[in-house]
Chains A and B, each alone.
Chain A
Amino acid sequence: ETGVTQTPRHLVMGMTNKKSLKCEQHLGHNAMYWYKQSAKKPLELMFVYSLEERVENNSVPSRFSPECPNSSHLFLHLHTLQPEDSALYLCASSQGQGANTGELFFGEGSRLTVL
């Protein structure tokens, strides 16, 4: 139990579906992150939010749309995805952001399969 909860743990969707991934952190942290982990690829940073403001969008396609309604919740809205978007999506949080990020606490991930 890391204090970061992701739902759903597994998701299968068609290319025309709309779905959302949810992340909740119970650690009182100020920053939250979405990472994508594909087979045989490094962890790719997708989005960073600090105090609910997006501070980094790592050139992610617009079919991925993040939302951070408050410092404890982070969503990733998915729309018209491609099969190559199938991956493990990891949410993380940290106390600080920027040069003093500190330890990243990861959720267990949401395994996405796009058919």
Chain B
Amino acid sequence: GQQVMQIPQYQHVQEGEDFTTYCNSSTTLSNIQWYKQRPGGHPVFLIQLVKSGEVKKQKRLTFQFGEAKKNSSLHITATQTTDVGTYFCVGGSYIPTFGRGTSLIVHP
């Protein structure tokens, strides 16, 4: 299946700091999706990006899709304790393959 690399694996931040996770693919992606999984929960869809260079915002979350459609990022501004969880990117291909995820830990 599609190989999607995601970094960092873990990120500790103080509440109020920003956070970014990156996703990279060796091949061009038709689209990319982002999911969030709270501790003890299941993955929940956040967004899908399709177009080259696309940028979408959801309140404090900003999602970007690279010009070459091989990379993507999720940026959270001014993190809150409710942002805690693991964020996954999913490379769009015939079979939805998850990256390893970035676990965000927010210290109050």
Interface residues of A (CB under 8 A from B): 2, 33, 35, 42-43, 45, 48, 56, 58, 90, 94, 98-99, 101-109
Contact = CB atoms under 8 A, between A and B. Distances in A.
B48 A45 contact: no
A45 B101 contact: no
A111 B99 CA distance: 21
B33 A103 contact: yes
A106 B99 contact: no
Given A43-B88, A56-B95, A90 B43 contact: yes
A107 B37 CA distance: 12
Contacts, number: 49
Contact of B44 (A33, A45, A106, A109): A106
Interface residues of B, number: 22
Nearest to A31: B96
A2 B41 CA distance: 12
A45 B90 contact: no
Q: Sorted from nearest, which 6 A-B pairs have the closest CB atoms?
A: A43-B98, A106-B42, A42-B100, A103-B45, A106-B43, A98-B94
A94 to B, nearest CB: 8
A42 B91 CA distance: 13
A33 B81 CA distance: 31
B42 A48 contact: no
Given A42-B101, A45-B95, A99-B94, A104 B42 contact: no
Contacts of B94: 98-99
B30 interface: yes
Nearest to A43: B98
19 contacts: A2-B42, A2-B44, A33-B96, A35-B98, A42-B99, A42-B100, A42-B101, A43-B88, A45-B1, A45-B98, A56-B95, A58-B1, A58-B95, A94-B96, A98-B94, A99-B93, A102-B48, A103-B45, A108-B41
